[in-house]
Structure 1
């Protein structure tokens, strides 16, 4: 009996015999016109949300990365919950700038993966919670000695 079970596991499934809910269906966002998608994304509070929608599937990525739709990214940045977020540096697209600001990464001190944003955009320092608590005073002194375009409060320092 065990032999029969083993051979049954090795058989490939016929896609025609899968239940209807198991078959992938196109997303409803795929059929939404760009104008309506732009209107929906008008109400987001961060370019991170637009970035998440762009990463849903290939069509949305192509649509939102199209240079003609840059106004969606700019509007999201203008409504951003991070106060004083400057425009992207010259040569940067809005989408690349949003990924730079809001994507997660490794802590620059201990190398642990963290969801935190950069603590200093100028120095490009991302710190995990543990290292951040230990080094806030050092960063505050460094920040006070230089003029930066990103305020201390948006960098998480009070």
Structure 2
């Protein structure tokens, strides 16, 4: 069933419709013409990048292989590889940052434990769920010399 509208809208509709189904890998080759039309448009590479980014979130090994084949059929090999690699690198970088944050949070907890500070579950969750690297860095530095959790948080001590 053909959907009316510009090629990008038709391709996006199909990718979204089948993106989380087992049928996606089997249907992708049928959309090669749409991929080519999207690529030929003025913002084609940017639009294909958005589609590929979505596919990275939902695809399995088969879908990845078929997507690579479709891209290679609508653009030169160097462009196709660059497009797939650029988003792969983005995912790796995101995972690297997430790993650094988790490692830093674990480090804060280990320092506090080594210093003999009691870390209740609420404080533990506050540290583990923090996603701001600057805050985690600050807590890490403060944990090295803190004698209370309030000092780690940077809260004034009550007298």
Q: Same fold (TM over 0.5)?
A: no
Query: In terms of Rg, which structure is larger?
Result: 2
- The TM-score, its normalising length taken from structure 1, stands at 0.31
